[in-house]
């Protein structure tokens, strides 16, 4: 890592930029040690199941912008799952003061065989024009796909021409799926484009404004920040194009999940002078307090932060203690994306549960700001001790099924669609909390503790499902070492 290059059309993928990996087995402590010594090695699976797609993650950064429209430049299927973001936008709007969420405007250039031969530039130009006419959007975003990239369409050129013609920002995002096996590279691509083409240098700073790079969770930051005389500027879902353009006015940027916001935080700092908090996101008491103190130092609110921490402790520690008494000794397993996986481990350990292992989708040795203190896994290991059976595994269900069958924890915590099914098939209470804000701060531990107790207590459904579960995996596979197909790559790259 180092300085981001915001002058090129596309962002480097994570493998190349950060040295991130998708295959590892060992302990969390050893993984962190490898990362610090520059010895992280990618593992390769000779058998694999499908991953996520960068184009979907890129779309995720722009579809929920209030007044933007999105054009997928590819075959129709490359935008097939985007309707899920339209649903999210509608159902979560009330959390963000968007009382009347409008229809998301999602277009596909619908590339066909002919376009793969003659090129899709003209079709893209027509689609941009029509998307502008229909939607009246304040900005158009283009997400690229495997087909448009391999064919070699001039997306950058077409976007520039459309921008001149239409008089609104037309922002290309280069996020074709085959470039990266780490689908969160799509977040980076989206933020790269936003930072490169949309955000404007600030004429003046707003000393109360703090950027919060996030998905679409509940607005927990407005009341908390108000106690410091600050207010959150949520990026990018539910923001307007103008709010994004003016995000350079903020005095700091914080992350709810550095896996999501790493690139935007670093870009805002490097190009627009908005400092980014180095501390990993506030999950678990120790990390929460570190995070608040750094925010206080950065915004000149150190005294207010000490008061807030004291108040939060007084309010929540007794209930956290009570939850610990009920949860201590219980066992858990975690499967989630990188930073949020680390966050879940912190929450579980703070509540007294024993984390028996984790299958986390990838590992970034550091994020784009290069700060070692931003390594949430390192913080977890230092605060709570090592985690055994720490597996970097990009959503390979066959490995998860095999591991859960052996580990049989009291609860499975998951943070990705489809992953709870295998907990339930083994009768393991399984919890997926969609709102990543739920576990943050002191209160987050109470929120999570209650949800975990609830899931463990109300296990009749999973027990019944387990009795009738269908298992497509062979007996042979369930008896193998879960990492049977995982080998270190021959072309080892040390970082």
Partner 1 sequence: MSGLIEQGRYTCAIGAMQSVVAIPRAVPILHSGPGCGSMVTGFFERATGYAGGSTAPCTNSGETEVVFGGEARLARVIEGAGRVIDADLEVVLTGCTAGIVGDDVGQVVGRFQAQGRPIVHVDTAGFRSSNYVSHSTVVNAILDQYVAPRTTGPRVVRPELVNVFASVPFQDPFWKGNLRELKRLLSGLGLTVNVLFGPDSGGVAEWRTVPQARFNVLVSPWYGLPIVEHLQEVYGQPFLQFPYLPIGGNETTAFLRQVATFAELPPGPVEAFIAREEATFYEELQSLATFLLEFRYGLPAYYHAIHDASYVVGLARFLLHECGIVPREQFVVDGTPAELQDGVRAALAATSPKRTIPVTFDPDAGLAQETLRPIRHPGRGLLIGSGWDKLLAREKDLDFLSAALPSPYRLVMTTGYLGYQGGLRLIEDVYNGVLATYA
Taking the complex as a whole, how short is the minimal distance between the CB of residue 190 and partner 1, in angstroms? 15
Q: Map tokens 């459309």 to a residue.
A: 162
Buried b (16+ CB within 10 A) or exposed e, 134-157: ebebbbbbbbbbbbbbebebebee
Nearer to partner 1, 78 or 139 (CB): 78
Coil, helix or strand at residue 237:
coil
What's the min distance (Å) between Cβ of 350 and partner 1? 29
Considering only residues 13-52, where is the footprint of partner 1 by CB under 8 A? Answer: 46-52
419 binds partner 1 (CB under 8 A): yes
Q: Which is nearer to partner 1, 5 or 480 (CB)?
A: 480
Q: Which is nearer to partner 1, 79 or 287 (CB)?
A: 79
Q: State both tokens at 441.
A: 């701060």
Task: Please say whether the beta carbons of 428 and 349 come within 8 A.
Answer: no
**β-pair type (252-255, 23-26):** unpaired
The Cα–Cα gap between 456 and 50 comes to 30
What is the smallest separation between the CB atom of 184 and partner 1, expressed in angstroms? 12
Structure tokens at 185: 């590279």
**Rounded Cα gap, residues 265 and 280, in angstroms:** 12
**Contact (CB, 8 A) for 161 and 191:** no
113 near partner 1, rule: CB under 8 A? yes
Residues 65-84 that bind partner 1 (CB under 8 A): 74-81, 83-84
Least Cβ distance, residue 297 to partner 1 (angstroms): 41
Number of residues that bind partner 1 (CB under 8 A): 69
- Going by C-alpha positions, the residue among 171, 160, 166 that lies closest to residue 130 is 166
Interaction between residue 114 and partner 1 (CB under 8 A):
yes
* Closer to partner 1 by Cβ: residue 78 or 268: 78
Going by their DSSP bridges, the two strands 486-488 and 43-45 should be labelled as antiparallel
Task: Confirm or reject binding of residue 469 to partner 1 (CB under 8 A).
Answer: no
Does 492 interact with partner 1 (rule: CB under 8 A)?
Answer: no
Question: Which parts of 142-201 interact with partner 1 (CB under 8 A)?
Answer: 145-147, 150-151, 176-181, 183
Q: Tokens 């203690």 appear where?
A: 321
Which residues of the shown chain bind partner 1 in the complex (CB under 8 A)? Answer: 46-56, 74-81, 83-84, 86-87, 90, 103, 105-116, 123, 126-127, 130-131, 134, 145-147, 150-151, 176-181, 183, 395, 397-398, 418-419, 421, 470-474, 476-477, 485
């Amino acid at each position: 890592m180092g300085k981001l290059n915001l002058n090129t059309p596309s962002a480097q993928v994570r493998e190349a930029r950060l040295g991130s990996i998708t295959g590892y087995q060992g302990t969390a402590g050893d993984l962190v040690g490898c990362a610090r010594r520059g010895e992280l090695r990618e593992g390769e699976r000779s058998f694999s199941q499908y991953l996520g797609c960068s184009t979907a993650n890129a779309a995720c950064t722009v579809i929920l912008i209030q007044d933007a429209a999105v054009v997928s430049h590819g075959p129709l299927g490359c935008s097939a799952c985007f309707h899920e973001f339209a649903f999210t936008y509608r159902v979560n709007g009330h959390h963000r003061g968007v009382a009347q969420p409008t229809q998301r405007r999602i277009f596909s250039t619908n590339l066909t065989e002919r376009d793969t031969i003659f090129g899709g530039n003209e079709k893209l130009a027509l689609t941009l024009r029509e998307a502008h006419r229909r939607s009246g959007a304040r900005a158009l975003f283009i997400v690229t796909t495997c087909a448009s990239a391999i064919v070699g369409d001039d997306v950058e050129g077409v976007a520039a021409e459309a921008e001149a013609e239409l008089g609104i920002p037309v922002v290309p995002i280069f996020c074709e799926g085959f470039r990266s096996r780490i689908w969160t590279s799509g977040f980076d691509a989206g933020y790269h484009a936003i930072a490169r083409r949309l955000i404007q240098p600030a004429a003046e700073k707003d000393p109360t404004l703090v950027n919060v790079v996030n998905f679409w969770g509940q607005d927990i930051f407005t009341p908390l920040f108000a106690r410091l005389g600050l207010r959150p500027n949520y990026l990018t879902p539910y923001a307007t194009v103008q709010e994004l353009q003016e995000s350079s006015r903020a005095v700091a940027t914080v992350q709810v999940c550095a896996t999501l916001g790493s690139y935007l935080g670093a870009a805002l700092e490097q190009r627009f002078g908005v400092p980014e908090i180095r501390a990993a996101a506030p999950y678990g008491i120790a990390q929460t307090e570190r995070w608040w103190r750094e925010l206080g130092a950065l915004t000149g609110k150190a005294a207010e932060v000490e008061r807030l921490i004291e108040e939060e402790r007084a309010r929540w520690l007794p209930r956290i203690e009570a939850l610990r008494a009920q949860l201590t000794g219980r066992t858990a397993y975690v499967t989630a994306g990188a930073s949020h996986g680390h966050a879940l481990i912190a929450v579980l350990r703070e509540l007294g549960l024993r984390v028996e292992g984790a299958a986390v989708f990838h590992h970034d040795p550091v994020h784009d700001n290069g700060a070692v203190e931003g390594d949430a896994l390192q913080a977890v290991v230092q605060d709570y001790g090592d985690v055994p059976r720490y597996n970097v595994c990009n959503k390979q269900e066959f490995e998860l099924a095999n591991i859960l069958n052996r580990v049989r924890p009291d609860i499975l915590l998951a943070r990705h669609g489809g992953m709870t099914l295998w907990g339930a098939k083994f009768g393991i209470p399984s919890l997926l909390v969609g709102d990543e804000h739920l576990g943050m701060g002191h209160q987050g531990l109470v929120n999570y503790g209650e949800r975990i107790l609830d899931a463990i207590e109300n296990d009749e459904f999973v027990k019944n499902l387990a009795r009738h579960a269908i298992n497509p995996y062979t007996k042979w596979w369930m008896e193998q070492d879960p990492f049977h197909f995982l080998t270190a790559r021959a072309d080892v790259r040390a970082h």
